[in-house]
Amino acid sequence: MASILTASTAELPSSASHPHDPALLPHLDTIIRGDCVAAMDKLPDASVDVIFADPPYNLQLGGDLHRPDQSKVDACDDAWDQFDSFAAYDAFTRAWMLAARRVLKPTGTIWVIGSYHNIFRVGATMQDLGYWILNDVVWRKTNPMPNFRGRRFQNAHETMIWASKSEKAKGYTFNYEAMKAANDDTQMRSDWLFPICQGGERLKDDDGQKVHPTQKPESLLARIMMATSKPGDVVLDPFFGTGTTGAVAKKLGRHFVGIEREQDYIDAAQARIDAIEPLRSIDLRQLMPKRAEPRVAFLSLIEAGLLQPGARLTDAKGRYSATVRADGTLLSGDHEGSIHRVGAKVQGFEACNGWTFWHYDAGEGCEPIDTLRAIIRRQMARSGG
């Protein structure tokens, strides 16, 4: 039985670059009720772009846990988190990971989150099944639960494994430039600082109790999706819980497929996702890497009148100069050819990025010709080219 949410596929971006398998369409933006392996068997091969999995941690809690004032800690002691042995947990992990690998696109990636109780066993199983680990990312909690017994260090983090489908997988999404720009133009590190789910985001029942003991913060899922997916992509969560993945996917213009066994969690997730307002398409545009931008020939600058034949170009410090010719080549002494070839020759190098090496007279100083290329690209974007 599938619980179809109000987030229709028409609300979310879908273009020719995101052709969805017709067999997947009935499951888009829905929660499938049932066992995760059986439910994934309903999905077509190679049909999802990203998987976020928050499987049972197998916490192995021995009895109740109390605070120093003897009040009981509301820990995760649900039946779904309990396994008879490590062997039973490993068999469960292998089964769902095999199912997940089948539905993951060749260019897709998977995220699995866990604690010290399970993440190392999970990682070993992933490698045994052929997944290729790209990163382990540490979620550092700003407000972790204390260690009340005082017999161990405070558990202040969880670990996420990010992996591709295989060692040879190519073309997976990683929005490096966007993550770097969002991090004050510094490479995004693999340790992320977020608070645990709290305040109005934490779902509570009529008695004020947590609906789900391990609800993840939306900020964590948002970073995962912004870093490793594109608008219109399909994100699968085989342990959907109260729907954090679905809520964030709807807000960020992604599709989702959720799988959950417990009807109470499904009901809470559906109400939560129904209330989400997707962001506007303009607010979802991501910073594109330069290699993804349209190619521009140097000759285009001359044809557009941005540079004239006979114009003089120099390097940033004025040590080298070259003359622009009508056919889009440069001449510098005995050297002639493309902006890259001449830039390399005058320096005695094997290669050179002519777009950043050569500068033109902008009137109030010199600017790299790359700024003129940017003008052409903006014109191409406006014209749909």
pLDDT one-digit tens code per residue, 225-241: 999 999 999 999 999 99
> Among 147-151, 255-259, 333-337, where is mean pLDDT lowest?
147-151
Cβ partners under 8 Å of residue 356, min gap 6? 368, 370
The predicted pLDDT at position 9 comes to 34
The predicted pLDDT at position 344 comes to 97
Looking at per-residue pLDDT, the higher value among 203 and 188 belongs to 188
The predicted pLDDT at position 59 comes to 72
So where are the chain's domains? 22-61+74-284, 298-383
| pLDDT surpasses 50 at 187 | yes
| pLDDT surpasses 90 at 192 | yes
Does an H or E element contain 367, and which?
Answer: strand 366-368
CB 138 within 8 A of CB 192: yes
Q: Which of 302, 316, 380 shows the shortest CA–CA distance to 352?
A: 316
The predicted pLDDT at position 15 comes to 38
The predicted pLDDT at position 80 comes to 46
| pLDDT surpasses 80 at 284 | no
CA dihedral 280, 283, 285, 286 (to 10 degrees): -140
Q: With bands split at pLDDT 50, 70 and 90, how would you rate the model's confidence at 12? A: very low
The predicted pLDDT at position 13 comes to 44
CB 86 within 8 A of CB 56: no
CA angle 28, 50, 190 (to 5 degrees): 145
Residue 301, amino acid: L
Other beta carbons less than 10 A from residue 302's beta carbon: 18
| pLDDT surpasses 60 at 162 | yes
CA dihedral 252, 253, 254, 259 (to 10 degrees): 80
pLDDT one-digit tens code per residue, 111-137: 999 999 899 999 999 999 999 999 999
> Among 12-16, 150-154, 172-176, where is mean pLDDT lowest?
12-16
Q: With bands split at pLDDT 50, 70 and 90, how would you rate the model's confidence at 381? A: confident
Residue 338, amino acid: S
CA–CA gap between residue 305 and residue 371 (Å, rounded):
14
| pLDDT surpasses 60 at 106 | yes
Q: Report, as an integer, the average pLDDT of 163-182.
A: 93
The predicted pLDDT at position 382 comes to 72
The predicted pLDDT at position 17 comes to 47
Residue 211 phi/psi, 5-degree rounding, is -70, -40
Q: Which of 278, 256, 350 shows the shortest CA–CA distance to 27?
A: 256
| pLDDT surpasses 90 at 279 | no
Using alpha carbons, list the distances in angstroms from residue 322 to 212, 234, 307, 354, 376. Answer: 67, 50, 13, 11, 22
Residue with tokens 């830039």: 343
Using alpha carbons, list the distances in angstroms from residue 280 to 55, 68, 339. Answer: 32, 49, 40
The predicted pLDDT at position 79 comes to 57
Q: Up-side HSE of residue 128: CA atoms within 13 Å toward CB?
A: 13
Tokens of 12: 């979310």
Q: With bands split at pLDDT 50, 70 and 90, how would you rate the model's confidence at 77? A: low
Residue 158 DSSP SS3: strand
Tokens of 53: 């999995």
Q: With bands split at pLDDT 50, 70 and 90, how would you rate the model's confidence at 5? A: very low
Q: Is 111 exposed, middle or buried (0-12, 13-18, 19+ CB in 10 A)?
A: buried
Q: With bands split at pLDDT 50, 70 and 90, how would you rate the model's confidence at 292? A: low
| pLDDT surpasses 50 at 177 | yes
pTM of the model: 0.70
CA–CA gap between residue 83 and residue 232 (Å, rounded):
37
> Domain 22-61+74-284 falls in which CATH fold?
Rossmann fold (3.40.50)
CA–CA gap between residue 149 and residue 168 (Å, rounded):
46
pLDDT one-digit tens code per residue, 26-73: 999 999 999 999 999 999 999 999 999 999 987 755 544 444 455 444
| pLDDT surpasses 50 at 91 | yes
Within 213-341, strands assigned E span: 234-237, 255-260, 312-314, 321-324, 330-332, 335-337
Sign of the Cα torsion 143, 149, 154, 155 reads negative
Looking at per-residue pLDDT, the higher value among 69 and 198 belongs to 198
Q: Report, as an integer, the average pLDDT of 127-152.
A: 90
